[in-house]
């Protein structure tokens, strides 16, 4: 595999806690392109801490419009712009992304216009192109191609797994999804599959802690995958490495990496990485942040 994958934020859901992990975002450097997949809170800090200049931003993909995947998209682009972004950026996402972006630049209109005049910056609104996509081919640009598969994340209907391919390297993001067997075909033979995951005993404790427990439990079980289910998809797809991210729960002190590994090992024997913020992943393994 050529390229670099950096897990910037690895927790599922929008909440943050002291010293805990950030919501979902991932940096992918592939074929000379700088790609960000999902923009949960913390993405700007994550990209910067990964040693990347914000000016290098090139392509951004949003799997769906839940806030733990899109909340910091506007701030990421705006901060890149004030850092000297001079090249166009393309945002790919489901229907509704264009409205998000237009509303964001409208909310920041005062700042954007004053910086154009006062600092001589190019117009951010003209540097960003938004492409709304559905299932199928999303991008084919030189050796880089991206395809999308609609997954099962009720009540959200516009939620897409993404497959990135470049010269024989392939990386698949499950997005948020309940156990979804068609993902195995979609991820067939990929070098790396990033799959979301929940741990059942942790969900029970999470549900017990919150005021709206029964409703939350129902949502989680209908819309997300258990760790063992992620392992089933990886095994059926025959991927090179399974990486768990969008972890639920991600910040329960009684749950550690060993618990996740134990849950996945019931269904997947291959190379395995349990995501944590800042981790760099290749098909050979992982490097500490």
**Residues designated catalytic:** 68
Which C-beta is closer to Zn ion: that of 196 or that of 286? Answer: 196
Dihedral sign (CA 267, 273, 276, 280): negative
Q: Which residues contact 108 (CB under 8 A, 6 or more apart)?
A: 74, 78
Which segment (3-11, 171-179, 199-207, 253-261) binds Zn ion by CB under 5 A? 171-179
Sheet holding 25-30, edge to edge: 128-132, 89-93, 59-61, 33-39, 25-30, 4-9, 280-282, 285-287
Site for Zn ion contains 38 (CB under 5 A): no
Site for Zn ion contains 150 (CB under 5 A): no
Alpha-carbon torsion, ordered 166, 91, 23, 94, to 10 deg: -100
Which 54-73 positions form the footprint of Zn ion (CB under 5 A)? 66, 68
Which 207-266 positions form the footprint of Zn ion (CB under 5 A)? none
Q: Which residues contact 5 (CB under 8 A, 6 or more apart)?
A: 26, 27, 28, 29, 171, 192, 194, 243, 280, 281, 282
**Min dist. Cβ of residue 169 to Zn ion (A):** 26
**Min dist. Cβ of residue 268 to Zn ion (A):** 22
In degrees and rounded to multiples of 5, residue 25 shows phi and psi of -160, 150
* CB burial readout 121-147, b (16+ within 10 A) else e: beebbebbebeebeeeebbeeeebbbb
Which C-beta is closer to Zn ion: that of 33 or that of 69? Answer: 69
Residue 16, Cβ density class (10 Å: 0-12 exposed, 13-18 middle, ≥19 buried)? middle
Which C-beta is closer to Zn ion: that of 68 or that of 283? Answer: 68
Candidate residues 165, 176, 277, 283; the one interacting with Zn ion per rule CB under 5 A: 176
Which C-beta is closer to Zn ion: that of 52 or that of 216? Answer: 216
- Residues forming a β-bridge with 93: 132
Which C-beta is closer to Zn ion: that of 27 or that of 108? Answer: 27
Rounded to whole angstroms, the Cα distance separating 160 from 165 reads 16
Which C-beta is closer to Zn ion: that of 25 or that of 169? Answer: 25
Give the interface size with Zn ion as a residue count (CB under 5 A). Answer: 3
Q: Fill in the per-residue mask, 182 to 201: x = in contact with Zn ion (CB under 5 A), - = not in contact.
A: --------------------
- Residues forming a β-bridge with 64: none
Q: Which residues bind Zn ion (CB under 5 A)?
A: 66, 68, 176
């Amino acid at each position: 595999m050529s390229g670099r994958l950096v897990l910037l934020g690895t927790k599922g859901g929008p909440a943050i806690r002291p010293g805990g992990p950030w919501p979902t975002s991932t940096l992918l450097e592939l074929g000379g392109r700088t790609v960000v997949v999902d923009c949960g809170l913390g993405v700007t800090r994550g990209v910067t801490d990964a040693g990347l200049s914000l000016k290098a931003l090139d392509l951004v993909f949003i799997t769906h419009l839940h806030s733990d995947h899109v909340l910091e998209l506007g701030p990421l682009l705006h901060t890149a712009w004030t850092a000297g972004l001079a090249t166009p950026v393309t945002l790919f996402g489901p229907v509704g992304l264009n409205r998000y972006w237009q509303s964001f630049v409208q909310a920041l209109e005062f700042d954007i216009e004053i910086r154009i005049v006062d600092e001589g910056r190019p117009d951010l609104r003209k540097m960003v192109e938004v492409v709304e996509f559905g299932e199928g081919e999303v991008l084919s640009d030189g050796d880089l191609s991206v395809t999308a598969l609609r997954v099962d994340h009720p009540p959200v209907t516009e939620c897409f797994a993404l497959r990135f391919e470049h010269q024989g390297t392939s990386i698949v993001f499950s997005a948020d999804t309940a156990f979804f067997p068609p993902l195995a075909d979609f991820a067939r033979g990929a070098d790396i599959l990033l799959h979301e995951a929940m741990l059942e005993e942790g969900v029970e404790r999470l549900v017990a802690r919150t005021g709206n427990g029964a409703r939350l439990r129902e949502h989680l079980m209908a819309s997300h995958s258990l760790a063992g289910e992620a392992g089933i998809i990886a095994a059926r797809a025959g991927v090179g490495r399974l990486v768990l991210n969008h972890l639920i729960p991600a910040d329960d002190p009684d749950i550690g990496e060993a618990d996740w590994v134990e849950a996945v090992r019931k269904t997947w024997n291959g190379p395995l990485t349990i995501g944590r913020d800042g981790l760099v992943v290749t098909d050979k393994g992982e490097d500490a942040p």
